[in-house]
DNA sequence: CATATTTTGTACCGTTTCGCATTAAATTCT
DNA sequence: AGAATTTAATGCGAAACGGTACAAAATATG
C-alpha cells in the first residue's frame, strides 16, 4: 500500500521511455505517416499495450507534443537566465534550439511542433490548440524577459516587448523550418546571430 | 496540325484546373493524409486518369508544390516593385502572403510549402529539395532588393543584404506557421508591421 | 488457495490504401 | 472506312491501416 503498486499485473515497460521512442517516430515521419506498427516497433510495445497505456494514435501524438512543449519551456526558462544580458539570453535560446533541431540522422528534424504539428493543425482541432498554446507560451516567456530588458535599459526606450518577443520567436520558427529544409548548420547559426543583432542592436 | 491536337482521344479535363483542386486538398490535409480518393473526388478525375496525367501521388504533390512556388515568386517580384520604398515593398509582401494564408474555411491554411512540405522533407528527398530551393529563391529575390536598398541609402551603411533578406523571410515563415496555428488576422498583421519596422527602421 | 484486477500477446476484423489490368470510348492518320 | 493511338471508366487485388476481442499471465486481495 505504501508503494503505489496497483492491483493487477504490473507493467513491463517504462511509459516515459516509450513516449520518448514514439516521439522520435513522429518527429521523423509526422503524425499521419507514422503507423501504429512503426510506433509499436520503436517502443517495443504491441498495439494493445500502446492503446491501453496512451489511447489511440492521436492521443499518443498529443502526449508526445505536450511532453515536448514542457521540455522546451524548461530549456527556454533556463536559457533566459536574467542575470545574463539579453543578448546572451537570445543567443542561448537559439543555440539550444539548433542543438535539438540539427540532431537528425539522415536529414535534420527541426522542431517537433513546427515540423509535424503544423500540418495537422488545420483539420485536427486538438493539435491546433496545442500548437497555438505552445507558440503563445513561448512568446510570453520571452516577452517577460523583454519587459525586464526595457526596465533595465537594455533596449531602446520605446521598444515594444510583446512585438520584440514575437519577432524573436519568428527567428526560431524560421530556424525550425530551414533545418528541416536542409539548410547547413553554418547558415542557421548565421541567421541566429543576425537575429540577435537586429533585435538587441549592434554589439 | 497547326493546333496541338494529339493523336488519340482528347482529354476531357483541364490539367491546370485539376492541379489547382489537388493543391487545395494537399493544402488542408498535407501529403500523407491526402488519399487518392480525396484527390480523385476533388479533381473529378478517377484514379487512373490522375495517375496517367501526373504520375503517382508524390509526383502529383511535387507538381502542386512547383506551381505554388512559381506563383509565389511571381507575386513576390510584383510586390518588390523597386520604384516603391523598401518599407512599402516588405509591407506588400506580407500583406499578399496573409491574403493567401488566411483564406482557410474552418482554419487558416498558411503556406502550402511551410505548412505541408516541411513535415515530409525529412524522409522524402525530392520534397526537401523543392522546399529548400523555394526558401532559397525567396531569400534571393528579397536579397536583390536589399542590395538595391543599400546602394540607394534606404538602409544603414553597413547593413548586410543577405542576412536582412533572410530575416525578412523569417517573419514570413513565422506568419505561415502562426496562421495555421490559429492566430488572428490582427495578430499576424501586427507582427508583419513590427517586422517591417525592425528591418527598415522606424518610420 | 481462490478471486479480482490489470497487463501481455496473438490473432483477427472491417476498412482504406495505392496502384494497375482491362475494356470501352473518342479522336487522328492512312 | 479501318487502323492506330490516346483517354476514360470500372473494378480488382494485395497490402497496410487503425483498432479490438480474447485468452494467458502476473500481481494484489480476501
User: Mean of the pLDDT values across residues A157-184?
Assistant: 97
Cα A16 to the center of its chain, rounded Å: 17
- Cα distance between residue B68 and residue A127, in whole Å: 25
Instruction: Round to a whole number and report the distance in Å from the CA of A10 to the C1' of D27.
Output: 7
- Cα distance between residue A63 and residue B2, in whole Å: 62
pLDDT given for residue B12 in this prediction: 86
* Angle between helix B161-180 and helix B185-200 axes, rounded to 10 deg: 170
ipTM of the prediction: 0.94
- Cα distance between residue B57 and residue B51, in whole Å: 8
**Cβ within 8 Å, pair A128-B114:** no
**Cβ within 8 Å, pair A198-B169:** no
Per-residue confidence band for A1, with pLDDT thresholds at 50, 70 and 90: very low
- Cα distance between residue A44 and residue A18, in whole Å: 8
CATH homologous superfamily, domain A69-200 = Tetracycline Repressor, domain 2 (1.10.357.10)
Cα separation values, A65 from A94, B67, B146, Å? 20, 32, 38
pLDDT in tens, A63-90: 999 999 999 999 999 999 999 999 999 9
Predicted confidence (pLDDT) at residue A104 exceeds the cutoff of 80: no
**Domain range B64-200, CATH architecture:** Orthogonal Bundle (1.10)
Instruction: Round to a whole number and report the distance in Å from the CA of A56 to the C1' of D19.
Output: 8
Q: Does residue A25 contact residue A34 with C-beta atoms inside 8 Å?
A: yes
**Cβ within 8 Å, pair A132-B183:** yes
Q: Which nucleotides of C are covered by protein (CB under 7 A)?
A: 4-11, 16-22, 25-29
- Cα distance between residue A193 and residue B182, in whole Å: 29
One-character DSSP codes across B70-124: HHHHHHHHHHT-TTS-HHHHHHHHHHHHHHHHT--SSS----HIIIIIHHHTTT-
Instruction: Write down the mean pLDDT value for chain A.
Output: 95
Backbone region of residue B52 per phi and psi (left: phi > 0; alpha: psi in -120 to 50; beta: other values): alpha
CB atoms near residue B108 (< 10 Å): 25
Predicted confidence (pLDDT) at residue A4 exceeds the cutoff of 70: no
User: Mean of the pLDDT values across residues B164-193?
Assistant: 98
Indicate the residue of A30, A132, A163 with minimum beta-carbon distance to B119: A30
Q: Does residue B133 contact residue B70 with C-beta atoms inside 8 Å?
A: no
Q: What angle do CA A68, A88, A113 make, to 5 degrees?
A: 20
Indicate the residue of A119, A173, A199 with minimum beta-carbon distance to B174: A173
User: Mean of the pLDDT values across residues B54-60?
Assistant: 95
Indicate the residue of B28, B118, B131 with minimum beta-carbon distance to A118: B118
pLDDT in tens, A130-139: 999 999 999 9
Which nucleotide does the CA of A51 lie closest to, via C1'? D19
The cell for A120 is 495537422
Predicted confidence (pLDDT) at residue A203 exceeds the cutoff of 90: no
pLDDT given for residue B9 in this prediction: 86
Q: Does residue A127 contact residue B182 with C-beta atoms inside 8 Å?
A: no
Q: How many CA atoms lie within 13 A of A27 on its CB side?
A: 26
Instruction: Write down the mean pLDDT value for chain B.
Output: 94
Secondary structure of chain A as H, E, C letters? CCCCCCCCCCCCCCHHHHHHHHHHHHHHHHHHHCCHHHHHHHHCCCHHHHHHHHCCHHHHHHHHHHHHHHHHHHHHHHHCCCCCCHHHHHHHHHHHHHHHHCCCCCCCCCCHHHHHHHHHCCCCHHHHHHHHHHHHHHHHHHHHHHHHHHHHCCCCCCCCHHHHHHHHHHHHHHHHHHHHCCCCHHHHHHHHHHHHHHHHCCC
Cα separation values, B52 from A22, A203, B57, B90, B101, Å? 37, 59, 11, 41, 31
Verify if strand D has an atom below 7 Å from the CB of A3.
no
Pick the residue of A103, A110, A119 with the most B CBs within 10 A to test the interface with B by mutation.
Answer: A119
Instruction: Round to a whole number and report the distance in Å from the CA of A57 to the C1' of D27.
Output: 28
- The size of chain A, in residues, is 203
pLDDT given for residue B57 in this prediction: 95
pLDDT in tens, A24-59: 999 999 999 999 999 999 999 999 999 999 999 999
pLDDT given for residue B7 in this prediction: 84
Verify if strand D has an atom below 7 Å from the CB of A7.
yes
pLDDT given for residue A2 in this prediction: 39
User: Mean of the pLDDT values across residues B181-200?
Assistant: 97
Amino acid at each position: 500500500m505504501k508503494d503505489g503498486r496497483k492491483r493487477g499485473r504490473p507493467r513491463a515497460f517504462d511509459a516515459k521511455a516509450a513516449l520518448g521512442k514514439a516521439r522520435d517516430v513522429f518527429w521523423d515521419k509526422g503524425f499521419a505517416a507514422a503507423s501504429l506498427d512503426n510506433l509499436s516497433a520503436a517502443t517495443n510495445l504491441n498495439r494493445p499495450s500502446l492503446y491501453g497505456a496512451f489511447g489511440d494514435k492521436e492521443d499518443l501524438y498529443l502526449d508526445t507534443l505536450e511532453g515536448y512543449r514542457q521540455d522546451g519551456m524548461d530549456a527556454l526558462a533556463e536559457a533566459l537566465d536574467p542575470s545574463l544580458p539579453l543578448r546572451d539570453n537570445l543567443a542561448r535560446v537559439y543555440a539550444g534550439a539548433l542543438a535539438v533541431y540539427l540532431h537528425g540522422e539522415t536529414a535534420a528534424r527541426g522542431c517537433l511542433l513546427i515540423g509535424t504539428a503544423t500540418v495537422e493543425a488545420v483539420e485536427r482541432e486538438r493539435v491546433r490548440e496545442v500548437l497555438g498554446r505552445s507558440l503563445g507560451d513561448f512568446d510570453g516567456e520571452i516577452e517577460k524577459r523583454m519587459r525586464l530588458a526595457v526596465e533595465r535599459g537594455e533596449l531602446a526606450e520605446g521598444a515594444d516587448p510583446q512585438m520584440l518577443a514575437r519577432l524573436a520567436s519568428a527567428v526560431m520558427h524560421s530556424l525550425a523550418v530551414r533545418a528541416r529544409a536542409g539548410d547547413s548548420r553554418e547558415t542557421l547559426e548565421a541567421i541566429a546571430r543576425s537575429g540577435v543583432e537586429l533585435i538587441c542592436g549592434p554589439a
